[in-house]
Amino acid sequence: MSLDIAPPPDRIGVVEPPTRGPLARRPAWLSQHIGTAAIGAVAGYALGHYLGNTIASGYVHVQTAAENDLAVVLGLALGVVGWLLGIGVFNYPIAKMFGRKPAEVPEAANWTRYVRMSLDHKTVGLQYLIAVFTFLFTGGLLAMAIRTELLSPTSHIYGPGTYISIVGEHGTIMMMMASSLVVGPLGNWLVPLMIGSRRMAFPRIEAASFWIFSSGYFVILTALPLGGFPTGWTGYAPLQTQADVGMDAYLVGFFVIGTGMILAGFNLLVTVIHYRAPGLTWGRVPVFVWSIIATSALLALATPTLAVACYFGILDRTATTQLYVNIHGGNSYLWEDLFWFFGHPEVYIMALPGFGIVAEILPVFTRKPLFGYRVATAGMIGVALLSFFVWQHHLFQSGIDPAMRPLFMLTTELISIPTGFIYLVGMGTLWKAKIRFEVPMLFALALYFNFLLGGVSGVFLSDVPVNVTVHGGFFVLSHFHYTIMGGLVFGFFAGVYYWTPKLTGKMLNKKLGKLHFWAMFIFFNLTFFPMFLIGLFDQPRRVFEYANRLQTLNDFASVCAFLLGASFLIFVVNFVWSVFINPVATAPANPWGSKGLEWQTPTPVPPYNFERIPVVLSDPYTYGEVGAPPVADLTGAAFATVGAPPRPVDGGSGAHTYPPAGGPGQDQ
Amino acid sequence: MSQVVGGDGAVGSVPVDEQGGRRPNHVWRIVGIWVVLSVVGDLVFWFVAGPHVPPGTMTTTASGAQFDFNVLFVVALPVILGVWTYLVYAIVMWRASRWVGEGDPVRGPTARSNLKVQVAWIVTTTITVLAMFVFGTVELIVPAGAGGAEGPNPVWTPASKSILPIQVIAQQWQFTYRYPTFGGMETNNLIVPNDTTIAFHVTSLDVIHSFWAYQLGVKADANPSVDDVAYTKTRQTGTVTIRCSELCGIWHGAMFDYGKVVSKAEFMKWGIATEKALAANTKNLPPFAWTYVPDANGASGVYADTSGQAPYSKTQKYGATKAAQKIVKSPTTVTTTATATSSTATATSATTSTATSAIRKLTRQASGTTL
């Protein structure tokens, strides 16, 4: 193993870095952090903009500097490269390229490690947490702006261009956020702990994926000073080709975020496959990790299509290729197909981690084993597989070959079968349980409540005759907010309340947590349920003018949306007070009495997680099972018992070798 | 498994409601509540709300959409109520505060999986889903696409011999309508005869729009260079709201107008009068075609005041992909004849019939499909 990863735990902190030579630690003023990244980004943007103007200012279609797409695209692209150079993502490959030994930068001991490139998955996880909250609250504020405009059907607060830019920014930022909402913070933080690994498979790629993700935030926000983009988050093509330079920020932004998603998914997938602790057979892998496997597979396989689609769009706008322009040999359906071929798996990228979290949480708060473990994993894998075969249901009214319509109706409706598995698992686990209504449990139950409406309304949308009425209207809008916000975001908060004691060492306040839950749950439903009706009563999406008769419903939704937004403030207050201000409430190592492997570690989790690689003895759902072994042996005693395998408790055949020969891929 | 887990119910921690003699039958309680709620809910929905469900009953496709929505709802409501009943029941009955005794619930292997329950669940959901699929497919194919877009080569066409073609031209940010059977005149408002099968040919001059005639139960995307066909049959007169339902730029929200379904006689009167009134304008329009390729003068997509400009260039030859001049001519003649004989509905029907069959024939030739 390379030298900068995982020294033996007894030597952590003992080795002093040399003061001279290539391995020397840089002086403080030369060290790399978010400030140097920002300098790199600005310098990169300036260079790219200059290059673009130099190259393209003579083009016929570039009349003024403000129309020079190439300058904007190169500026943003080099800005991202400068950001990554500035934070140090390329240090290692560059040093290797020149045959030098890469400089070793030890992890900072204080908070400054969160503004530097870190190879520790726990630091990256918390960096992701901060980033997704930034995305979430930015997108949320934009949602408030949308609902403010929709208070009145005819009098306006913004111009139509500003309004449509706000809508597009809201959608794009939220989609970017949601695709990493769980996989980024909780996936990176928890997966190595849950599988008994000391690190991710590719820590540098993990860090790179985070810094790419964070740069995407700034890229997509530059669309606003560049004039915004009129296409919404779907970016449909002839409009995209027609739009002003703000569109370039959308295309580059999605390309950049997509790259980060591919890397993150790939990294997590390899980690789970190769870094499981001895004894962690596929039948014992926690169900949250299964959801991350399914999500990562989608991230790694579906997102390249998005990158290609964005790349084509960029070419159309800068190099005047005509890939999306019908009259010059291109095709506007090409964007629709490529985009939704990514876009529908993306929807499940945003749903599966939520399922995983609640399935992981339910056994803890019902004190029962997870019901139908195999059904749960089959459901997640099934949803992931089927999600590649449904994308044309977004194109039911597009005029694409109608003969395909029944097929896509079938595949879309079939996906509700594996999704139903998730409900079977949840309901089976609740059967005759001993339910404790802690805050995470409340959010987990709310997911089952909300997602049901989202899922069932999806069946209405998949039915082509009904789709004629509800397609492209507020019904769709309500449907996907019920699945993404009602599902994923509620699941995410369940996870945040559940794992924060482990992540930060502090318990979140229970009273404020319950207040947050009830406010969010009630006003979420009051905001989005009326939108089903608004959609049925003929209000299309993304409009700033609507029928007078719909004002009451819209105003009601708007007021509830403001209160929904306010409910997030309760969370912020709770989080800041509990984690940063309240000095007393230090969390015990395992406050919920969970059997999960991640809870068996001390809090705070030491660097490199485990003193010894644990030997997993059971799945983490043995609640109430008399004589069940502990989830894992953390002391190494089990090595003495090799040759006397305990029977697996997951109902398997008992034929597992134990521990598995070789213990795949463990470092050291 | 049982070795590790311990026997079923080996330890005596049971919920309070299971102590003593009578064990409540949770299954029958839940099923009972669920059946009552579902039956009441479905009946109330079907008879009270059902007839008012959008998009109403103005056309066959609108009624079809309403019927399909109601059927789906009647199936979906018990699903929703079933899960909710179960969740609420679990939350009330199996909360920790009602628990007596020590330790965790012990249920043995059945807590981990129950083959019967799992198979029953999977079979039930699969049957429901497949039934919905069959129902949806029938409801899609029988009413010829159910008012949805079928693209330039529709696979499901109405049986009617007389279909009135109306072209919907979308551009930023308005719809206009061309009537090939009335000399290819172009109007700003959609006027449709009652009791007539209509083929909407939707196309765009710039970006993707979506023609959504709400009460007609018709929706079809308007793609540039694509002739997107959707069928419906009108059954009632009244006002129609038309909105663009695909984001098409900054004034997307303002892209709406209102149309009318009028009686056949009124429609005939309106058509003939309007054709005459617009004759001078029609002469300046590009010849009727299924798709148009605008030049720099028209609909270039720039947001600017174009009120002073002609919508189409007089000199530019438009890229009609299929010859349509011939089609327009013959119905015009017929229409004139019809006027002379002071025709009413019958004549209209004859008119549209002639026009339609000619158009359909040409379409078939052009697209190379055989029906």
* CATH code (residue B327): 2.60.40.420
At position B143, the amino acid (one-letter code) is P
For residue B138, tell me if it sits in a domain: no
CB contact under 8 A, B90 and A544: no
The answer to whether the CB atoms of B4 and A646 lie below 8 A apart is yes
Chain B residues touching residue A431 (CB < 8 angstroms): 26, 90, 94, 111
Interface of A with B in 373-412 (CB under 8 A): 373-375, 396-403, 405-406, 409-410
* Domain span at B58: 2-112
Q: Contact B207/A327, CB-based, under 8 Å?
A: no
Task: Please classify residue B279 by burial: count the beta carbons closer than 10 Å to its beta carbon, then call 0-12 exposed, 13-18 middle and 19+ buried.
Answer: exposed
CA–CA distance, A301 with A345 (Å, rounded to integer) = 9
Helix A439-462, helix B60-93: angle, nearest 10: 160
Residue B290's pLDDT is: 83
Q: Is residue B118 part of a domain?
A: no
* Domain limit, last residue, from A529, A553, A581: A581
**Contact across the interface for A452 and B145, Cβ inside 8 Å:** no
Q: Is residue A629 part of a domain?
A: no
Contact at CB, A465 and B148, closer than 8 angstroms:
yes
Q: Is residue A255 part of a domain?
A: yes
CA distance A373 to A283: 8
What is the Cα–Cα distance from B18 to A627, expressed in whole angstroms? 24
CB contact under 8 A, B87 and A445: yes
| CB–CB contact A465 B103 (8 Å) | no
Domain match, B164 and B104 both = no
Residues B55 and B174 in one domain: no
Residues A79, A84, A88, A91, CA torsion sign: negative
Q: Could you tell me if A428 lies within 8 Å of chain B, comparing CB atoms?
A: yes
At residue A238, the pLDDT reads 86
For residues A428 and A567, membership in a common domain is answered with: yes
- B109 to chain A: which residues are within 8 Å by CB? 651
Residue A195 and residue A79 share a domain = no
Q: Are residues B102 and B155 in the same domain?
A: no
B212 in contact with A at a CB cutoff of 8 Å? yes
- Asked if the Cβ–Cβ distance from B247 to A333 is below 8 Å, we say no
Instruction: Give the minimum alpha-carbon distance from B249 to chain A in angstroms, rounded to a whole number.
Output: 5
Q: Decide if A595 is inside a domain.
A: no
Q: For residues B107 and B158, state if they share a domain.
A: no
Separation of alpha carbons A222 and A248, rounded Å: 10
Q: Which residue of chain B comes nearest to A161, CA vs CA?
A: B250
Tell whether A15 is covered by a domain.
no
In the predicted structure, residue B147 carries a pLDDT above the cut 50 = yes
Note whether A542 contacts B253, CB cutoff 8 Å: yes
Domain shared by A88 and A156, yes or no: no
- Inter-residue contact A37 to A127 (CB < 8 Å): no
Contact yes or no for A369 and B111 at CB 8 A: yes
Contact A465 B253 (CB under 8 A): no
Weakest-pLDDT range from A522-531, B163-172, B308-317: B308-317
Q: In this complex, which of A410, A416, A434 lies closest to B96 when CB atoms are compared?
A: A434
Q: Are both A98 and A139 inside the same structural domain?
A: no
| Whether A188 and A68 share a structural domain | no
Residue B12, pLDDT score = 42
Q: Are the beta carbons of B30 and B90 closer than 8 angstroms?
A: no
CB contact burial A446-485 (16+ within 10 A = b; e otherwise): bbbbbbbbbbbbbbbbbbbbbbbbbbbbbbbbbbbbbbbb
The answer to whether residue B39 scores a pLDDT higher than 90 is yes
CB-based contacts of A559: which residues, under 8 Å, 6+ apart?
none
Residue in A closest to B27 by C-alpha: A431
Q: Are A216 and A260 in contact (CB under 8 A)?
A: yes
Pick B347 or A355 by higher pLDDT: A355
Judge whether A87 and A32 are in contact, CB under 8 Å. yes
| B98 and B167 assigned to the same domain | no
Listed by number, the residues of chain A in 546-575 with a beta carbon closer than 8 Å to a beta carbon of chain B are: 546-547
Same domain, residue pair A159 and A181: yes
Chain B residues with CB inside 8 Å of A629's CB? 4
Stretch B156-166: mean pLDDT: 85
**Amino acid in the structure at residue A349:** I
User: Is residue B158 domain-shared with residue B101, that is, in the same domain?
Assistant: no
What local confidence, expressed as pLDDT, does residue A109 receive? 76
Q: How far is the alpha carbon of A215 from chain B, nearest alpha carbon, in Å?
A: 27
Domain boundary among A81, A104, A127: A104
pLDDT at A609: 87
Same domain assignment for residues B182 and B280: yes
Asked if B111 and A371 come within 8 Å (Cβ–Cβ), the reply is yes
Which residue from B11, B95, B220 is facing A399, i.e. has the nearest CB? B220
Task: Kindly determine whether residue A536 and residue B53, on different chains, have CB atoms separated by under 8 Å.
Answer: yes
Is residue B122 in a domain? Answer: no
Q: Report the CATH number at residue A418.
A: 1.20.210.10
Q: What is the pLDDT of residues B315-344, one digit of tens each?
A: 333 333 333 333 333 333 333 333 333 333
Whether residue B247 lies within 8 A of chain A, CB to CB, comes out as yes
Collect all residues of chain A within an 8 Å Cβ-Cβ radius of residue B252: 164, 540, 542-543
CB under 8 Å to B66, separation ≥6 — which residues? B50, B53, B54, B55, B56, B57
CA distance A646 to A117: 42
Tell whether A268 and A412 lie within a shared domain.
Answer: yes
The answer to whether residues B92 and B235 belong to one domain is no
Q: Which helix (H) or strand (E) holds A61?
A: none
Our count of domains for chain A comes to 2
Domain assignment of residue A651, yes or no: no
pLDDT in tens, B69-102: 999 999 999 999 999 999 999 999 888 888 777 7
Would you say residue B127 lies in a domain?
no
- Based on the domain organization, do A39 and A179 belong to the same domain? no
Average predicted confidence (pLDDT) for chain B: 76
Selected residues 347-366 of chain A with any CB under 8 Å from a CB in chain B: 366
Q: Which domain holds residue A82?
A: 35-104
Residues of chain A contacting B54 with CB distance shorter than 8 Å: 469, 536-538
Task: Based on the fold, state whether residues A224 and A258 are members of the same structural domain.
Answer: yes
Q: Residue B120 domain-assigned?
A: no
Averaged pLDDT for residues B233-251: 92
The full DSSP string for A151-166 is TSSS--SS-HHHHHHH
Judge whether B139 is closer than 8 Å to chain A, CB to CB: yes
B63 with B155, same domain: the answer is no
Cβ burial of B370 (10 Å; 0-12, 13-18, 19+) is exposed
Q: Let me know if residue A76 belongs to a domain.
A: yes
Final residue before a domain boundary, out of B112, B143, B169: B112
Backbone angles phi, psi at A630, to 5 degrees: -65, 160
Tell me the ipTM for this assembly.
Answer: 0.86
User: Across the interface, do A398 and B223 touch by the CB < 8 Å criterion?
Assistant: yes
A626 contacts on B by Cβ (under 8 Å):
5-6, 10-11, 106
Task: Give contacts of B247 with chain A, Cβ < 8 Å.
Answer: 164, 230-232, 234, 236, 239, 541-542
Any domain includes B123: no
Write out chain A residues lying below 8 Å of B293, CB-based.
Answer: 327
Question: Are both B202 and B293 inside the same structural domain?
Answer: yes
Determine whether the interchain pair B250/A230 forms a contact, defined as Cβ–Cβ distance below 8 Å: yes
For residue B250, being part of any structural domain is answered with: yes
Within a domain: A7: no
Determine the 3-state secondary structure of A644 from DSSP.
Answer: coil
Task: Report the residue from A372, A423, A433 with minimal CB separation from B118.
Answer: A372
Residues B69 and B170 grouped into a single domain:
no
pLDDT for position A637? 66
User: Looking at the structure, do residues A455 and A380 belong to the same domain, yes or no?
Assistant: yes
Domain endpoint, select from B84, B112, B140: B112
Q: Which residues of B touch A525 (CB under 8 A)?
A: none
Q: What is the pLDDT of residue B289?
A: 82
Report residue A517 as tokens. Answer: 């839950």
Q: Are residues A133 and A64 in the same domain?
A: no
By the CB < 8 Å criterion, does A629 face chain B?
yes
Q: Answer positive or negative: Cα dihedral of A24, A30, A32, A37.
A: negative
Boundary-marking domain end, from A104, A128, A162? A104
Cβ–Cβ of B221/A232 closer than 8 Å? Answer: no
Looking at residue A65, what is its pLDDT?
A: 65
The total number of structural domains that make up chain B: 2
Q: Are residues A97 and A138 in the same domain?
A: no
- Hey, is the C-beta of A595 within 8 angstroms of any chain B C-beta? no
Query: How many Cα atoms within 13 Å fall on the side-chain side of residue A403?
Result: 4
Return the percent helix, strand and coil in chain A, to nearest 5: 65, 0, 35
pLDDT for A19 equals 57
Residue of A nearest to B145 (CA): A465
| DSSP bridge pairs for A473 | A540
Q: For residue A322, what pLDDT is reported? A: 85
pLDDT for the residue numbered A7: 55
Whether A58 is in a domain gets the answer yes
Inform me whether the C-beta atom of residue B71 falls under 8 Å from chain A C-beta atoms. Answer: no
- Is the CB of A649 less than 8 angstroms away from the CB of B154? no
Q: Do B133 and A472 touch (CB under 8 A)?
A: no
pLDDT tens per residue across span A35-53? 899 999 999 999 999 998 8
Please report the pLDDT score of residue A635 as a whole number: 78
Mean pLDDT for each consecutive 10-residue tract of chain A (668 residues)?
Answer: 53 54 60 89 94 81 75 94 92 87 75 86 92 94 93 89 92 91 92 91 93 94 90 90 90 94 94 92 93 94 94 90 83 92 92 94 91 92 93 90 90 92 92 90 94 93 90 92 94 94 90 95 95 91 90 94 94 93 82 90 86 88 83 71 47 38 38
Domain boundary, last residue among B112, B136, B163: B112
Q: Are residues B358 and B220 in the same domain?
A: yes
